[in-house]
A and B are shown apart, each in its own frame.
Chain A
């Protein structure tokens, strides 16, 4: 497990390997009032679970791009309570994350109170690196929100080691 010091130092060398494709957002249904993604117009906050080895390079990339990076380890509760929710109360945000499946589910559920919609989501196998750039590209090209994350009842052998995701809040 990576320590906080490891996380700050960043740059853990990992072997790159295949990433499961980003989930495709469904086409707009007739009469939908949704406009195209506003990700570029919103402040982007990046959230990582520093217990995951892939978190450090992802966070480094985000910081290099000038985004604010927040981290937690396993339990996202304190980060939500002390950092993220106060920011959301000040106005809409885009939130990108590199977390485990359960934390991704938690963030999607919590951000519902701020009209949060997942615009991009990708699953990654163990010992891979994940980049922010394709996540942002997928989110900005999204034409609609993704359906709620269906991590429930996944057999252990099909579980991803971690996910990258992007949620846009609108209230």
Chain B
């Protein structure tokens, strides 16, 4: 049987489980070893080690009232809770609690789409609503609205937004937290609050205007442990008439500087509406010995070295992919303007890779190669690795430094992280820059995880070195796997950790008994703080 939470005697834990069972019913309390194992982090960098985060039990409520009853029991018995929505964000910790022994509050049964307004282009959902659920609902009901899905699309609107995830469509929608409008939250004390206009019981604008009256508190419920969000509103994108996916390629390594400058300008002017990915077909290439030598140079290979290699490959060094949405005439004008802005880069090439007119038939949907850019959730990220003969996909955690949208920064980050890998005897990983947000680039590296301690120890050393090195260079991460959240918060330590102290001051006020998501983003209740220092 799973162990009870630290500090709670077995008898008291069993009594607490009986009380939880009385709230949700026998079918929705999970306490056997094999059921609790379903909440393990499948990509854990601590797999099988004593420090691996594991739950003691799980409970699946079906209503706000049941959540309030669970919270009441937790306060009375000092039971640590860890709420999840779909729990499938594996690269940042999945459904495993940040504090071992916590009871997972699995909100999967609260999967009701409470409202979709085609006229207002908004929705109100419960925590368990997945991207698949919402897409299916819109399509089945022929509602001409799009979601902005994460990739892979097996997560949920609320969980991804609260973790500040990103997507691929229009600029108002792909910062998922920024695209929310209004919340309902069960506080750790059990009190129910609504934010924004929702605090007015008669307001018809809860999903239309974010701020309501007084301090805007929604932000404290993201990447935090201050409440269980039970409803959340989102803005949805109106289905466009058409879409055009394009690629712009430039031949030389240093061409990324004018390329990114122009793209940034076009994004900020709303000429390019979508997420824009700047990748390197050269650096993402195969294990050619000459390429491995260049990538492993630790940043000492010159632009000329890279350009000589690139010229021999008959491929561009950089390519940028993005999508226009709207009426065909507007798209054509935006594309022409984009080409005008980029025409000054010698050797630049423009390519239209796909065009669509909406709505799509089911067959057309299935044939879309890059579904996330059209708001279609998929598992293609796994499928592409799943072809016969392909290498198996690996578990990984995301290392996600954020940089200013400048080509020089992208090159510098590539050189600096390349040296980290090389110094550890590893082949450097390079992905490129993804402009989820209009004024920054996120440069994901997938750092592999394993099911053995020896390899995972190396992964943890690599990951910690990447985090610290990039932070020192001014490239802190925007989000981090649960196992590394204390490290992540250390990187935001201005004025001797004043921000972290503020987080814990809030924790003490909002969660006085310290029951909710202990240690999430390194926010601990007072009673555990000394042992975590």
* Contact surface of A with B, Cβ cutoff 8 Å: 1, 29, 31-34, 49, 51-53, 74-78, 80-82, 85, 99-103, 105-106, 109-110, 112-113, 115-117, 126, 144-145, 147-148, 150-154, 156, 159, 161-162, 171
Contacts and interface: CB of A to CB of B under 8 A. Distances in A.
Say what secondary structure dominates the interface of chain B: loop
Given A85-B132, A153-B395, A106 B385 contact: no
Q: Which of A51, A52, A74 has the most CB of B within 10 A?
A: A74
Nearest to B391: A156
Contacts of B492: none
A100 B384 CA distance: 11
A147 B455 CA distance: 20
Given A78-B365, A78-B366, A32 B391 contact: no
A153 B33 CA distance: 25
Q: Which of B371, B395, B449 has the most CB of A within 10 A?
A: B395
A105 to B, nearest CB: 7
B383 interface: yes
Among all A-B residue pairs, the 8 with the closest Cβ atoms? A152-B395, A75-B383, A74-B383, A100-B386, A77-B378, A77-B379, A102-B386, A153-B450
Contacts of B312: none
A29 B32 CA distance: 10
Given A52-B388, A117-B34, A80 B394 contact: no
21 contacts: A1-B388, A34-B32, A51-B387, A52-B388, A53-B388, A74-B384, A77-B383, A81-B377, A100-B386, A102-B382, A102-B385, A106-B154, A110-B154, A112-B39, A113-B108, A147-B37, A152-B395, A153-B451, A153-B455, A171-B27, A171-B28
B451 A152 contact: yes
Given A51-B388, A74-B383, A76-B379, A113 B86 contact: yes
A125 to B, nearest CB: 12
A152 B377 contact: no
B264 interface: no
Interface of B: 1, 27-28, 30-35, 37-40, 42-43, 60, 86-88, 90, 95, 108, 132, 135-136, 152-154, 365-366, 371, 377-380, 382-395, 448-451, 455
B378 A78 contact: yes
B132 A77 contact: yes
Contact of A109 (B28, B42, B136, B392): B42
Contacts of A103: 379, 382-383, 386
Given A80-B132, A101-B393, A152-B43, A106 B34 contact: no
Contacts, number: 135
B393 A80 contact: no
Contacts of B455: 153
Given A75-B379, A77-B378, A113-B108, A100 B388 contact: yes
Contact of A31 (B1, B88, B135): B1
Contacts of B371: 77
Contacts of B90: 109
A148 B42 contact: yes
A161 B449 CA distance: 22
B126 to A, nearest CB: 14
A156 B379 contact: no
A145 B34 contact: yes
B86 to A, nearest CB: 7
Contacts of B31: 33
Contacts of B152: 77
Q: Which of A99, A153, A156 has the most CB of B within 10 A?
A: A153
A85 B66 CA distance: 25
Nearest to A86: B136
Given A102-B386, A109-B42, A161-B388, A74 B380 contact: yes
A29 B31 CA distance: 13
Given A76-B383, A77-B378, A81-B132, A115 B38 contact: yes
